[in-house]
Structure 1
Amino acid sequence: MQNNAIPEYNISVPFKGVKWIQKGKWANEAVAGVIKAGDKPYEMLIKYRGAHIRSFPKKSYDLLFMKSQSFFGARRIHLNAEYNDPSLIRNKLSLDFFRDIGVLSPEAQHVTLYINGLYQGVYLQLESVDQKFLKKRGLPAGSIYYAISENANFSKYNPTTGKEKRSVTAGYEIKFDPNKSFNSLRELMHCILNSSEKEFPSRIEPLLDIDQYFRWLAGAVCTQNFDGFIHNYALYKNGESKRFEILPWDYDATWGRDIHGDVMGNKYVPIEGYNTLTARLLLHKPYKRQYKRIMEEILDDAFTCRALEQKILALHQSLRPHLVKDPYKHRSLSIFDEEPEFILAFIKNRNKYLKKRLTRLQ
């Protein structure tokens, strides 16, 4: 088991900023402040993050640091309240799981947060997927796009309304692009949407890291992130290979619970997942067999109670002392204490379900 100590962050902001926080009016306007991690102060700008989560009593924040300094190598970090997750570990457990199965993934760590001396509770610090993210890993520079809405479903049509989208890049924002354009993303989308079935393999392979995509797909399917197939991901175009990779993002609605923290049955998401790119790939038997091999490997090794139990228990143990005094607990400590068993039961049942569905990938 790991030590119960997790980092403590102390944020100081002007009184006006505190009033905005308390009144819930801090939407897109950032406030200058200082954050202390240990004894060292860092100047930064802080604002709310997220959409519907801004209405929760426990807020989530974006922190942007000055160009002249970085925060442990980062220019930007995200502090997530994880308000609807009764375990507070699903997001971190997911992102670590993706890394274990060979998918580029943001780092995540739990912290305790104080604002102007008042305890805000347990938070999850998420690494931003940006140029610093690439540099830290020794990866080539390249374009990065965020999938920020359900329109990022690799289709011409909105998945909810069925209406044609205004553009093939709807649902995305540019995080970084040397040309400050969507040109690279448009090239990928035009391939997905306009290639004939016969020419699709020869056109997609120079543009997409197929093996990496299937590992991401397997991770999203195993953890059962219903929304993760049409948003909550980032696309990175490797500057050397010229091929896209896909990265997970915001995976709190996973491991048997939905975005509201309610129970989601272990058979809710099919083994193929959902989106147009996956559907096009799986029309081709070589790709289907490739995905099947990857899924079999993960189900036998990484996505098992044997592989994950100690990590789940260690995370739970490390957070419990800090959650006791968290002023914004959404659910009781008794529910929190049942979560490790709940998650492990989900893994066992989801693994069994997916193994039975492997025949669909023949």
Structure 2
Amino acid sequence: MISSKRIITIIAILAAVSLISYFFLVFFMDKQTNQSDNYSVEMEYEALLFDTDEIISIDILMDDSEWNDMIENAINEEYYKCDIMVNGTTIYSVGIRPKGNTSLSAIASDPENNRYSFKVEFDHYIERQTCFGLDKLILNNNYADATNMKEAVIYDMFQYLGADASLYNYAEISINGDYWGVYLALEAVEESFILRNYGELSGDLYKPDNMDVGEGGANNAENKQAGQNGNMQDPFGENSIPDNLNPEMQNNRAPEDSSQRGFNFPQRDGFQEDLSRDRADMPNVEFENMNSRGSSGGANLEYVDEELDSYSTIWNGSVTETTESDYRRVVTALQNISEGKDIERYLDVDNILKYIAVHSFAVNEDSLSGNMAHNYYLYENDGQLNILPWDYNLSFGGMNMSGANSDSDVVNDPIDTPFSGTTFFNVLLENEEYLARYHEYYQQLVEKYIDGGEFDSFYSKLREKIDILVENDPNAMYSFDEYKIAADMLYKTVKLRSESIKGQLNGTIQSTVEGQKSDPSTLIDATGIDIEVMGTFSMGDNRSDRIPTGNTSDNIDNQKTDVPTPNSNDQQNIQMSQEFDTSTQNNIPADKQNGSSQLLTQDGPDTGTTANTSLIWFFISLVVVIAA
């Protein structure tokens, strides 16, 4: 029979082992996730995919007939199964489909162009499969952007200020080993994004869009079985192929509305059951019948009343499983924000001020800045609202409403009245404390990012990496000469925009719409800027959506700003990815699964559960010792 002393000794040893295991596992968990004080989590894909020092290499491996079928039926936006080699690592049984709105429709109607944007969903066929922790990758074709870098520079600014925004990089895309083109790769705003930024999969996500779809509708099977968010019915009909493409959107120069209506999280508390993985993009629409601010269905985020029906556009854009109580929290927040009550309880003020600074620098009318209440995500967690950015290919005057934007309008856009489509942000911009903090973030952008050399470094590095890829792009929508002219113009536009903002910050230039109307004499001279050469989407006038030719280069030469040119030797040293032997795809095991990291659980790695168990055993052992 074991003596009581030996029992106590054994229990003490077990307790010590449990305690040591606990601290070891806690340390190990911190090393794996690098969870910071603000509960963000460092994901593996941040370094492996979105380190912009190295372009992502992506080879889409699928049967030629399947690829051709997907391209020929792109308007249906249906997922197809493929394998994808990402930087040398193959992920098997991945879902891929074309994406877009007006861009998809325009490309589908052009027999000479198959350059679609794509969604790559790693867990579409294999539950919880990821690419180094990333659940979905967006591959944007830079539609209506001759510079190929408008979105990239804006997302780089968001990163510089530390705002909650998607990670970005460029991707060299191949199809079965054959070079297809250079795309912008974006981290989708889905569960991995939420986990990376907030440390856990919690809260509710919405993708509001007030575009009047009439009787049109989502045209793919995904939306027909999207899980039905709460009690909301899908607002769009079936099998409606857009037939209302603006006749002026010729030569594939229309913008992508990019109204990606969301996603389904893996099954867990508070999120949709993963039925079809992804809700459809918003259908093509008649822009002339766009909802006004008064009938936006809440998409402009203005408080109307307590009735949930007044915010139907927000609920229709739910991308997580939501209920009436979730909607009530959003309405309560909107009401308190509109009344200026307890603002920091109902708004993530600091992040939204960063959002406003970068967003207003971009002069993107295809957003809340103009009359289109869309192209953003609304994130609500515990009653607090946050704004997440999306879709910036039409920045710097790219959305040219009836030719209204002049070159000077883009350069001198007033920073203190940046939103004509909503009054939601007024509670911040009309508050002296918040306005001063907003100006501080703007000061960082213009003095440190632009003047401090960060932008020059970004621009030069990017040109050195993508110039040769653009030049050899077999599916490019602009010629290489057009690209070079456009890229140079973007550099000059950013520099002059920064000069105007510095003047607005120090008071030498008026910073409101009314102020600039009353005193336009101090505005920055934008004579040397031509926003059309960067690619624009014109509506309601006779402008072509193609880049002008002729004397464009002469105009650029006459401008004051010197554009850095890529090092020719560096360009020559850039090599295309190694050729892929397409015969290897036939040898891939059917049941093979990728070796990439699996998606982290809601509370981090599984080691957390083990650590908690160890701590419980320690306390049980301690109680037994005391009782003995």
- With the length of structure 1 as denominator, give the TM-score of the two structures: 0.83
CA distance in structure 1 between the partners assigned to 2:486 and 2:133 by the alignment: 33
1:42 aligns with 2:92: yes
- 1:64 matched residue in structure 2: 121
SS of match in other structure, 2:180: strand
Report the alpha carbon displacement of residue 232 of structure 1 after superposing the two structures with TM: 1.7
CA distance in structure 1 between the partners assigned to 2:406 and 2:436 by the alignment: 28
1:163 aligns with 2:295: yes
Report the alpha carbon displacement of residue 225 of structure 1 after superposing the two structures with TM: 1.8
1:181 aligns with 2:328: no
Match of residue 321, structure 1, among 468, 473, 479? 468
Report the alpha carbon displacement of residue 331 of structure 1 after superposing the two structures with TM: 1.5
1:74 aligns with 2:74: no
Change in CA separation of 1:196 and 1:16 when aligned onto 2, cut-off 3 Å: closer
SS of match in other structure, 1:217: helix
CA distance in structure 2 between the partners assigned to 1:86 and 1:28 by the alignment: 25
Matched length: 348
CA distance in structure 1 between the partners assigned to 2:162 and 2:201 by the alignment: 20
Match of residue 395, structure 2, among 225, 234, 254? 254
Match of residue 295, structure 1, among 427, 434, 442? 442
Report the alpha carbon displacement of residue 92 of structure 1 after superposing the two structures with TM: 1.9
1:212 aligns with 2:351: yes
- Report which of the two has the higher share of strand: 1
Q: 311-320 or 136-145: which moved more?
A: 136-145
Match of residue 20, structure 1, among 69, 72, 77? 69
Change in CA separation of 1:185 and 1:349 when aligned onto 2, cut-off 3 Å: farther
Match of residue 409, structure 2, among 260, 263, 267? 267
- 2:503 matched residue in structure 1: 356
- 2:375 matched residue in structure 1: 232
Report the alpha carbon displacement of residue 341 of structure 1 after superposing the two structures with TM: 2.7
Say whether the 8 Å CA contact 2:450–2:456 is kept in structure 1.
Answer: no
Query: Unpaired segments of 5 or more residues in structure 1?
Result: 153-157
Say whether the 8 Å CA contact 1:141–1:238 is kept in structure 2.
Answer: no
CA-based RMSD of the aligned residues comes to 3.2
Identity among equivalent positions (%) equals: 21
CA deviation vs aligned residue, 1:111-139 (integer Å, no higher than 9, x gap): 12122444321111111122212323462
User: Which amino acid letter does the alignment assign opposite residue 175 of structure 1?
Assistant: V
Change in CA separation of 1:181 and 1:76 when aligned onto 2, cut-off 3 Å: farther
Say whether the 8 Å CA contact 1:305–1:348 is kept in structure 2.
Answer: no
- 1:111 matched residue in structure 2: 171
Report the alpha carbon displacement of residue 320 of structure 1 after superposing the two structures with TM: 1.4
Say whether the 8 Å CA contact 1:313–1:340 is kept in structure 2.
Answer: no
Say whether the 8 Å CA contact 1:11–1:114 is kept in structure 2.
Answer: yes
Query: Unpaired segments of 5 or more residues in structure 2?
Result: 1-50, 108-112, 213-289, 298-308, 516-628
Match of residue 243, structure 1, among 381, 384, 404? 384
Say whether the 8 Å CA contact 1:33–1:44 is kept in structure 2.
Answer: yes
Report the alpha carbon displacement of residue 167 of structure 1 after superposing the two structures with TM: 3.3
Q: 140-149 or 81-90: which moved more?
A: 140-149
- With the length of structure 2 as denominator, give the TM-score of the two structures: 0.50
Report the alpha carbon displacement of residue 182 of structure 1 after superposing the two structures with TM: 6.5
